[in-house]
Structure 1
């Protein structure tokens, strides 16, 4: 596919077709890594790691367990 680079403020912008964005799993606001490799501009989506609560809880040890943090008196109907 051929496309054109456009001016965007003091920078240049590249419009990514919807079908390409969908296939790459990106949307407006997605973080991407841009690099220059062997004479080519390469754009790669950055995938944030997905965490499972059970895995995070399994990593809690005595040396990384913090004390309860005081947040003041309950306000409204938030009392538990």
Structure 2
């Protein structure tokens, strides 16, 4: 896909087509990492890091798993 750079203040900007952004998980206000490798510009989405509180926010009494037996220790597992 061919596109052009645009001036944005003292910088240059590149418009990312919606279909490419969607496929890469990039949307408006997404954080991206820009790097240069062998004179090629690489733009990668930054994966969000979740806190334990955020990860556990969706756990309820209805969807929490019960304990299960994994068998006897087979190595140096802590008891």
Aligned residues: 55
* CA distance in structure 1 between the aligned counterparts of 2:48 and 2:3, rounded to whole angstroms: 29
Give the deviation of 1:28 after TM superposition.
1.1
Please list every run of at least 4 consecutive aligned residues from structure 1 whose deviation after the TM superposition is greater than 6 angstroms: none
Q: Indicate the residue corresponding to 2:37 in structure 1.
A: 37
Counterpart residue number, 1:5: 5
CA RMSD of aligned residues (A): 1.8
In 2, Cα distance between equivalents of 1:24 and 1:37: 19
Structure 1 residue runs of 5 or longer lacking an equivalent are 57-80
Deviation digits for residues 27-80 of structure 1 (CA, Å, limit 9, x no counterpart): 111100000012210001000123444x77xxxxxxxxxxxxxxxxxxxxxxxx
Give the Cα–Cα distance (whole angstroms) in 2 for the partners of residues 25 and 5 of structure 1: 22
Richer in helix (by share)? 1
Equivalent position SS for 1:7: strand
The unaligned stretches of length 5 or more in structure 2 are 57-79
